[in-house]
Every structure is written in structure tokens, then in C-alpha cells.
Amino acid sequence: MTLSRIQKGGDQDPLNVNSAIINNIAVNSGILNNIIVNSGILNNITINNTAINNTTLNSGIANYLTLNNPVLSAGLEKSYITATSPTVATNITLSSGSIWYFTSTASNAGPWTFNLTTNGTLNTLMQVGQAATTSVLVTQGSSPTSYYANAITIDGVTQTTYWQNATTPVSGQAANALDIYLITAIKTGFSTFTVLASQTKF
């Protein structure tokens, strides 16, 4: 089943969609209650000034979803936890999670390069003026000096990177604790990003 080009105003209650593709839906100044989407795909959805109550997306995909002035209560963010150590070239695949947590003690000597990507490419996914932010958590042992990242790429392409305090990391920091890298990539042109990065000991 495919639903296309639906515009709704007022209160909508309920909507239960199974194994459907929903395209080009605009919701303006209404209330959406008790919407459940199971194994569905949502494409090009725009929601303006609308209250959304008790909505569940199970095993679904929401593509190009625009929320204007939303109020989110108890929102959860997806993280990716891996019992490994970063390597010289480490892919940070944002479709798997915006927070990456390496729980094994770092064991592959750096410096590392963190390559931000996704299913497909970030260049294709993002428009100019959009930004993506990720946190990378690295578990360190008692001697963290040799285990650190000092370069960021996007889809395998080297980008201009500005490190906090204009200081590129030269070592790991957190003995028996966590080094956390916060990275924001702002798309400024085709395959061109300005990257802001920091390394913090926790």
C-alpha cells in the first residue's frame, strides 16, 4: 500500500499503517494521536505546529523528515556500542548511531583517522547548510599516550578540521578512563565540509 500527497488539518485519530510507503504528507496545525507504523517507509514528511501523541515507528524508516518547532519529551538517541578498539582508519557510520562507544581498551596504536559516513554517503544525504554531530567514546588503559585520533574525513575525503583551542591531539589523555571526541561536520559544498572537533578526558 502506498499513500501519497496527503495534507491534513485538524485532529487525526487514529492511523495504523502496516508495511506501507507513505509519501509527501504535510500536517499543519493539527493533532496526531495514536499513530503506529510497522515496517513502513516515510518519505518527505513535513509537520508544522502539530502535536503528536503516542506515535510509534516500529522497524520503519523515516526519510527527509522535517519537524518545524517541535517539542520533544523524553527523546532517546541511538548509540552504537562495540567491544573493539579504534584502528588507524575507523569508519564512524552515523546510520548505526550518532554516539559510538568503543568499550574495549584501546589497543591499536594511533594516530587514528575517524571517517564519518553513513549508508550511502553523507554527501548524498546532506544538503548544503546542514550539519551532523557525533560523539566517539574511546576506552583507555593505564598508558593512553599512543592511542588517539588526530584526523577527520567525510566519506573518505579529507576536510578542513578545526580542533578546539587550535590544538590537534598528539596523544591519548584519559588513563583508565574515557577520551571523548565530539565532532560536528557542516556541509558547505559538494563533498566539502567544515569540521569542528575536540578531544576531552572523562
Q: What is the mean pLDDT of the chain?
A: 78
Q: Which amino acid is at 70?
A: P
Cα Dmax for the chain = 61
Q: Could you give the CA distance from residue 188 to residue 159 in angstroms, rounded to a whole number?
A: 11
74 within a domain of the structure (yes/no): no
- pLDDT exceeds 90 at position 147: yes
Tell whether 90 and 138 lie within a shared domain: yes
Tell whether 96 and 118 lie within a shared domain: yes
189 within a domain of the structure (yes/no): yes
Q: Could you give the CA distance from residue 192 to residue 139 in angstroms, rounded to a whole number?
A: 31
Contacts of 198 (CB under 8 A, 6+ apart): 163, 164, 181, 182
Tell whether 14 and 84 lie within a shared domain: no
* Dihedral angle over CA of 93, 94, 97, 101, nearest 10: 50
User: What confidence tier does 66 reach under pLDDT thresholds 50, 70, 90?
Assistant: low
Tell whether 93 and 192 lie within a shared domain: yes
Tell whether 86 and 115 lie within a shared domain: yes
> pLDDT per residue over 74-97, tens digit each?
667 889 999 999 999 999 999 899
Tell whether 62 and 91 lie within a shared domain: no
Q: Could you give the CA distance from residue 97 to residue 109 in angstroms, rounded to a whole number?
A: 24
158 within a domain of the structure (yes/no): yes
Tell me which residue of 60, 31, 66 sits closest to 47, measured CA to CA: 66
Q: Could you give the CA distance from residue 12 to residue 167 in angstroms, rounded to a whole number?
A: 53
At which of 34, 68, 102 does a domain end?
A: 68
Name the residue range of residue 20's domain. Answer: 2-68
Q: Give the total number of structural domains in the chain.
A: 2
> pLDDT per residue over 4-53, tens digit each?
433 444 444 444 444 445 554 555 545 554 455 544 555 545 555 445 54
Tell whether 59 and 92 lie within a shared domain: no
73 within a domain of the structure (yes/no): no
Tell whether 102 and 146 lie within a shared domain: yes
Tell whether 149 and 59 lie within a shared domain: no
